[in-house]
Copies of this chain bind each other. A is one copy, B any other.
């Protein structure tokens, strides 16, 4: 057996880096269309273009039975009350699931079944695991006051489909209400914004 160094990965909860993997950086300007409140988004972008999250993924292995894994790190904050979030995706190979493990900070996974449209929200923090079934859009949200760091493990053949959800976005949003996260239908949140 070639026991290459790449069987062993060190990661850094403080920087979000994963040795041997490229660090993908998503700034506010990369998240056009992800936040519900477009006015708040444009206003924030005028003030600056901070890093919202990073992802570093080991995706070298191919073939049936192989696995990939990625380290995600989301900075704390919100845009128009909606907590910092990842773009969200569904696996190109729809049956592929994913296991998320919380490593640092406090957040939530927003799930949405592509077939039924039903949503669910599950806590993500150290000593918790969230199972994302196949056929499910999933987005990670930082509801805490510090960075949220987690690892996701998925089949090597999963693939990432960002387009399917980017077109219409998730049906639910996770917003700060009196300092606590609240799950709301996107439509209701948009009505509230327009009333105010």
Which A residues lie at the B interface, using CB under 8 A?
1, 3, 6-13, 58, 61, 63-67, 69, 91, 93-99, 101, 111-113, 115-116, 118-120, 122-123, 127-134, 136, 151, 153-155, 158
Contacts of A1 in B (CB 8 A): 111-113, 115-116, 118-120, 133, 136
Cα distance A176–B61 when bound, in Å? 34
Contacts of A6 in B (CB 8 A): 131
* Contact partner, A61, options B9, B119, B131, Cβ 8 Å: B131
Minimum distance in angstroms from A165 CB to a CB of chain B: 15
Minimum distance in angstroms from A160 CB to a CB of chain B: 14
Q: Is the interface of A mostly helix, strand, loop or mixed?
A: strand
* Residues A7 and B134 in contact, CB atoms below 8 Å apart: no
In the A-B complex, list the 9 residue pairs whose CB atoms are closest, starting with the nearest. A3-B120, A65-B95, A1-B113, A1-B118, A153-B153, A65-B96, A9-B129, A7-B131, A8-B122
* Contact partner, A128, options B8, B122, B153, Cβ 8 Å: B8
Among A1, A97, A113, find the residue whose CB has the most chain B CB atoms closer than 10 A: A1
Q: A118-B3, A122-B7, A130-B8 are in contact. Are A155 and B153 (CB under 8 A)?
A: no
Minimum distance in angstroms from A11 CB to a CB of chain B: 5
* Residues B155 and A67 in contact, CB atoms below 8 Å apart: yes
* Contact partner, A97, options B3, B67, B136, Cβ 8 Å: B67
With CB as the reference atom, state the residue of chain B lying closest to A158: B65
With CB as the reference atom, state the residue of chain B lying closest to A3: B120
* Residues B99 and A133 in contact, CB atoms below 8 Å apart: no
Cα distance A132–B97 when bound, in Å? 19
15 additional A-B residue pairs with CB within 8 Å, beyond A1-B116, A1-B133, A3-B111 = A1-B111, A1-B115, A1-B120, A3-B119, A7-B120, A7-B130, A7-B133, A11-B128, A58-B131, A65-B94, A65-B95, A65-B96, A67-B99, A67-B131, A67-B154
